[in-house]
Structure formats: C-alpha cells, structure tokens
C-alpha cells in the first residue's frame, strides 16, 4: 500500500515537473519570438548565425544524403529486381527520401551538429556570466543572443532538408542507373509521374519546418536554462540532442499519420 | 536622505523558499562616495548587487535607485535604468567572440547610433584610462586575469554610469594589478563623479578606498560606519572580522555534532 502510494506520488511529481518545465519553455519561446522584430532590423546578426548554424552544417548533410541515397537505391534494386519492377526504383528512392528520410534524418543530424553547438554555446555564455553582464549593459540576452540563433535554425533546417532530398535522389540515380543499369528514362519519368508536388514535396518540407522549430527551440531553451557549471552545461547538451531526437521521431509519426493516410 | 543614490529598506530574500539570505537588510548608498559591502563568504553580498541591478527580485522590501523602485519596474524601464548602472563581474564576463576593442564598443553599438570614428575615440579613451590602449586587438582568451578585469572595467564605465558596482574586484590578482585596480576605483570615483559600491572581503584594500563600510552577516547589517569607526569598534564580531581572527562570534566550524561522537560512530 505504501509502495503504491509512493509510486503514485512519484508519478504525480513527475507530471507536475514536466508541466512546469513545459510552461517555462513556452514562456521562454514567447520572449524569443517577441525579439524577432529587433533581429529583422539588424539582419547582420541573423546572417552571422545563418552561417554558423546552416552553412557549417552543409558538409554532414551533403555526405549523409549521398550515402543514404546510394544505400536506398542499392537495397531497393535488390528487392525490386526479383519482381522485375526495377524500373520503379526512382519512385521508391524519391518517395522515401521526400516523405520520410529527408526530413527526419536531416533533423536528427542537424540536432547533433547545430543544436548541440547552440546549447553548449548559450550554456557556456551563461556559466561565464556573459549573459548576466549583457543584462547589466541593458542588452537583453534573449533578443541579442537567443532570437538570432533560433531564427537561423528555423530557417536553415528546411533548406538543408531540400538539399538532402535532392542529393539523395541524385545519388540513388548514380547507383541505380549508372552502376546497376536501371533504365535512366524510367528512373526519372516514373518518379515524375508518381511524386506529387503538393502531396509529397510540400508535406515533406512542412515536416522539416516543424522539426526545425522544435529542434532549435529545444536547443536554445536547454542552453538558456542550463545549470551554470561544467556538469550542467554537459547535461544540457546531452538533453538537447536526446529531447530533440525524441520530439522529432514522435512528431514525425503524428505528421505522417495526418499527411499520408488516405 | 536626499544625498543617497540608492536606498534599500527591509529587504528579505530566500532562494526558492529555502534558507533565508536576507532577513531585513536596510542600507543607504551615499551619492558620489565609495560604499563597501563586506561580510563572510555566502552572506549574499553578490546577491545584493544583483538586486540593485534588478537581476533578482527580493521576496519583500524596497530597492530604490535614483528614485526608481527597481523590483517593480517593467522590462523596458528596468533596461532603461540599467543604462545608468555599470557592473564589474568577478570573472570579467567579457564576450569571448569579440576583441578587446569590440567588447568595449559593444554597449555603445547596442544603444546608440554613433559614427565609427566617435566610437573609436570613446573606446580608446576608456582603454587609456585602464592602461590597455595597446591591447585593443587582443582576444579575451589572450588576456591575463588582471588585464581581463581591467578591460571589463573599461567596458562597464563606457556609458559613464552614475552607479558603478564592483563584484569582488580584488580577488585573485597579483599585487601590482591589485594596486592598479584599487587606485582605478578611487580615481574613477573622484574624477568621473560616480557612486561606487564595492563588494569584497579583502579588509586592507577595501578599507583603503571606502568612505563607508557596511558589514553583512546572517541576513542582516551587522555593522556600518566609516573604516576608522569599524577599526575601533568594540563589537566582538567586527573585531573578529576586520582583524581576521579564526574563531569568535563567527564560528570557524560549520554546525555539526561533537567531533568525538562523530568519530566513534564510524566504529560501529
């Protein structure tokens, strides 16, 4: 009985704590969004962050896209060829990448490359009192530091995802047609017939917009609320990657169910 | 008192409902003088500075700076009030991605649209004041602890604040840099007419520049007065603090059971 009461109390405390931190994260988000006007008035702040968050993530996105596209094409060919359906390889590769793998893998890679860096940077600025000193210089650290980074992540991820999709499809073509000999015309023309712009491409990009929002929100919030010690910053960085990965995968299921169930 | 820049009345504060840091602190900071806030470690000296700067809100009580009630200001007014305050952090808290020059120019660039040549003049004058005009192109990681603190000092005074707060300015400096910082605080106070608040527990340095000293202990103001008054005070606590005696009213031991029973318990 005591055990039952204790575990009930534990569950209650967990739920209350989770709700409280969700509330804090939402209040934080509203302050971040209020700063957008200031950032748009000073675009050079945003451009600097777009470079470090977006451009510097290009390498990992490009390489992953090429390898994912090649593997997908190879495995798809091995399966399809048994049924004599290898001409549909282009459809298989492109739909997988556009609907699912492009948005999800880009978001996961992005949270590992850029999200963790944002968390560590903001957390360390807090630990070394840089954020507090900005407050005392009458500069709001949320508007000056957090909002530009948030916007940069939100803008970068959909663009990186589009690059991921395109490169993956092209790498699939190289393996499927150039190497394994699937007819080039059927690879591209069946893809053109089957992939719809609004239903597939736009929905895939919408997914990545949602992921970009969530991943950067988690990253900047974890950094800003980190305990200002070396241990606290390291835990916040870990949390940032773990929570964004879980959020991306969970949201992906919901979005897929909403978008692609006929 | 009309010649007080900041008036603190009956201040109460505790961290998240836990141990009470302040239980009724009242204190006046006279205009144009150097006021020192002293006390043993952990008495909330830095916390008090953060309340004057509005970074923390007291549980109850009043913090009035230049006629503004800091805890009840809205965000916009608080940021406006902070433009007239400067704060030197113990770690310096320089922005690590900017050079020395850009660090000092940062508050000007954020708040005013000055021409580049005007910003350059202001920054160089402030750097000259702390003797680091030649170090303008260095990055914060290339500075020694003492230099970093002097750069942070130049940055804190770049907007000519009326109230300047120093958080542990003497900690961890070599004797020469220490002497420079001490005389800089004194000079800035007299030549620029600032009001200074120094938080420290270094008796010698602090007493040499302070006009007025206030000693905090256990959440209250334990003693206050000029350095001379405190040196000749008859209070046992003040004597222990200013002369650094190891034991007295301020216990050397953290509260615990007796040593004998604690050690014997380990044998069971």
Confidence band (pLDDT; 50, 70, 90) for B217? confident
Contact status of B237 with chain A (Cβ, < 8 Å): no
Q: How many domains does chain B have?
A: 1
Report the range out of A241-250, B4-13, B130-139 with the highest average pLDDT. A241-250
Residue of A nearest to B80 (CA): A138
Tell me the pLDDT tens digit for each residue of B231-258: 888 788 888 888 877 777 766 777 788 8
Instruction: Identify the helix (H) or strand (E) that includes residue B47.
Output: helix B45-52
| Coil/strand/helix, residue B92 | coil
Tell me the pLDDT tens digit for each residue of B8-29: 888 888 887 677 888 888 888 9
**Whole-angstrom distance between the N-terminal and C-terminal Cα of chain B?**
63
Cβ contact B82–A140 (<8 Å): no
Q: Cβ atoms within 10 A of the Cβ of B170, count? A: 20
- Give me the mean pLDDT over the A234-243 stretch: 96
Query: What is chain A's mean pLDDT, rounded?
Result: 94
- With respect to residue B219, please indicate whether it lies within any of the assigned structural domains: yes
| ipTM of predicted complex | 0.83
Alpha carbons within 13 angstroms on the beta-carbon side of residue A100 total: 13
pLDDT the model gives residue B266: 77
Dihedral pair phi/psi, residue B78, rounded to 5°: -65, -45
**Whole-angstrom distance between the N-terminal and C-terminal Cα of chain A?**
49
Confidence band (pLDDT; 50, 70, 90) for B1? very low
CB pairs under 8 A between A and B: 51
Rounded CA gap, A107 and A210, in Å?
10
- With respect to residue A34, please indicate whether it lies within any of the assigned structural domains: no
Helix axes A102-110, A147-173, angle to 10 degrees: 130
Tell me the pLDDT tens digit for each residue of A121-160: 999 999 999 999 999 999 999 999 999 999 999 999 999 9
| Burial group, residue B260, by CB count within 10 angstroms (0-12, 13-18, 19+) | exposed
Contact B210, B227 (CB under 8 A): yes
Residue B75: which domain range?
1-80+198-268
Residue of B nearest to A131 (CA): B93
- With respect to residue B132, please indicate whether it lies within any of the assigned structural domains: no
State the residue for tokens 């190497």: A179
- With respect to residue B150, please indicate whether it lies within any of the assigned structural domains: no
Indicate whether A98 pLDDT > 50.
yes
Contact B169, B88 (CB under 8 A): yes
pLDDT the model gives residue B2: 53
User: What does pTM read for this prediction?
Assistant: 0.87
Q: Chain B window 172-231: which residues touch A at a Cβ cutoff of 8 Å? A: none
Contact status of A135 with chain B (Cβ, < 8 Å): yes
- With respect to residue B124, please indicate whether it lies within any of the assigned structural domains: no
Residue A97: which domain range?
39-260
Alpha-carbon distances, residue B218 vs B21, B23, B43, B237, B253 (angstroms): 7, 8, 6, 12, 15
- Give me the mean pLDDT over the A106-128 stretch: 95
Taking contacts as CB-CB distances below 8 angstroms, the residues of chain B near A144 are 110
Q: How many domains does chain A have?
A: 1
Residue of B nearest to A125 (CA): B95
Query: What is chain B's mean pLDDT, rounded?
Result: 86
Contact status of B112 with chain A (Cβ, < 8 Å): no
B4 strand-pairing partners: B30
Contact B28, B5 (CB under 8 A): no
Which positions ≥6 away from B5 have C-beta within 8 Å?
B29, B30, B31, B32, B65, B66, B162, B163, B195
- With respect to residue A95, please indicate whether it lies within any of the assigned structural domains: yes
| CA-wise closest residue to A159 among A44, A57, A8 | A57
Rounded CA gap, A221 and A215, in Å?
10
- Give me the mean pLDDT over the A152-177 stretch: 96
Q: Which of A130, A136, A140 sits opposite B87 (nearest CB)?
A: A136
- With respect to residue B136, please indicate whether it lies within any of the assigned structural domains: no
Taking contacts as CB-CB distances below 8 angstroms, the residues of chain B near A130 are 93-96
pLDDT the model gives residue B17: 64
- With respect to residue B237, please indicate whether it lies within any of the assigned structural domains: yes
Contact status of A144 with chain B (Cβ, < 8 Å): yes
Pick among A128, A138, A148 to test the B interface (most B CBs inside 10 A):
A138
- With respect to residue B43, please indicate whether it lies within any of the assigned structural domains: yes
Contact status of B53 with chain A (Cβ, < 8 Å): yes
Instruction: Give the pair of three-digit tokens for residue B234.
Output: 């008859």
Taking contacts as CB-CB distances below 8 angstroms, the residues of chain A near B110 are 137-139, 144
Using CA of residue A240, residue A242, residue A243, residue A246, what is the dihedral sign? positive
Contact status of B56 with chain A (Cβ, < 8 Å): no
Pick among A117, A126, A136 to test the B interface (most B CBs inside 10 A):
A136
pLDDT the model gives residue A225: 94
Q: Which of B75, B80, B93 sits opposite A129 (nearest CB)?
A: B93
What CATH number did the domain enclosing B59 receive? 3.40.50.300
**Of A44-53, A219-228, B23-32, the least confident:** B23-32
Rounded CA gap, B65 and B4, in Å?
9
Indicate whether B190 pLDDT > 90.
no
Rounded CA gap, A113 and A60, in Å?
8
pLDDT the model gives residue A95: 95
- With respect to residue B49, please indicate whether it lies within any of the assigned structural domains: yes
């Amino acid at each position: 009985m005591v055990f039952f009461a204790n575990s009930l109390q534990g569950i209650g405390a967990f739920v209350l704590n989770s709700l409280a931190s969700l509330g804090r994260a939402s209040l934080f988000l509203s302050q971040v969004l209020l700063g957008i006007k200031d950032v748009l008035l000073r675009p050079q702040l945003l451009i600097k962050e777009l470079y470090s968050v977006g451009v510097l993530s290009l390498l990992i996105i490009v390489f992953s896209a090429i390898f994912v596209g090649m593997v997908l094409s190879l495995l798809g060919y091995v399966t399809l060829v048994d049924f004599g359906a290898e001409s549909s390889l282009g459809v298989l590769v492109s739909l997988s990448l556009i609907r699912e793998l492009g948005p999800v893998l880009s978001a996961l890679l992005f949270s590992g490359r850029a999200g963790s860096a944002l968390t560590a940077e903001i957390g360390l600025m807090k630990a070394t009192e840089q954020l507090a000193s900005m407050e005392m210089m009458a500069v709001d650290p949320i508007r000056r530091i957090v909002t530009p980074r948030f916007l940069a992540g939100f803008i970068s991820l959909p663009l990186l995802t589009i690059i991921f999709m395109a490169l993956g499809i092209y790498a699939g073509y190289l393996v499927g047609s150039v190497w394994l000999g699937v007819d080039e015309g059927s690879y591209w023309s069946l893809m053109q017939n089957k992939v719809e712009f609004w239903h597939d491409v736009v929905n895939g990009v919408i997914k990545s917009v949602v992921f970009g929002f969530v991943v950067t929100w988690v990253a900047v919030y974890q950094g800003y609320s980190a305990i200002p010690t070396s241990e606290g910053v390291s835990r916040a960085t870990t949390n940032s990657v773990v929570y964004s990965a879980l959020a991306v995968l969970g949201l992906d299921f919901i979005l897929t169910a909403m978008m692609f169930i006929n | 008192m009309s010649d007080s820049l900041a008036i603190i009345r009956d201040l109460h504060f505790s961290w998240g409902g836990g141990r009470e840091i302040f239980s009724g602190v009242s204190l006046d900071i006279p205009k144009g003088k150097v006021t020192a806030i002293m006390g043993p470690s952990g008495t909330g000296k830095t916390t008090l500075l953060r309340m004057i700067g509005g970074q923390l809100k007291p549980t109850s009580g009043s913090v009035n700076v230049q006629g503004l009630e800091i805890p009840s200001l809205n965000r916009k007014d608080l940021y406006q009030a902070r433009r007239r305050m400067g704060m030197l952090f113990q770690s310096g808290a320089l922005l690590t991605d900017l050079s020395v020059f850009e660090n000092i120019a940062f508050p000007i660039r954020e708040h005013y649209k000055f021409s580049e040549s005007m910003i350059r003049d202001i920054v160089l004058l402030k750097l000259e004041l702390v003797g680091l005009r030649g170090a303008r192109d260095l990055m914060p990681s290339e500075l020694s602890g003492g230099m970093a603190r002097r750069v942070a000092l130049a940055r804190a005074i770049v907007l000519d604040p009326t109230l300047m707060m120093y958080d542990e300015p003497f900690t961890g400096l070599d004797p020469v840099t220490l002497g420079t910082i001490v005389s800089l605080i004194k000079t800035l106070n007299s030549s620029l007419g600032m009001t200074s608040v120094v938080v420290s527990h270094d008796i010698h340095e602090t007493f040499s520049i302070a006009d007025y000293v206030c000693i905090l202990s256990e959440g209250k103001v334990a003693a206050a007065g000029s350095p001379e008054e405190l040196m000749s005070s008859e209070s046992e606590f003040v004597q222990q603090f200013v002369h650094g005696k190891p034991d007295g009213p301020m216990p050397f031991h953290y509260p615990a059971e007796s040593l004998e029973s604690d050690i014997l318990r380990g044998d069971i």
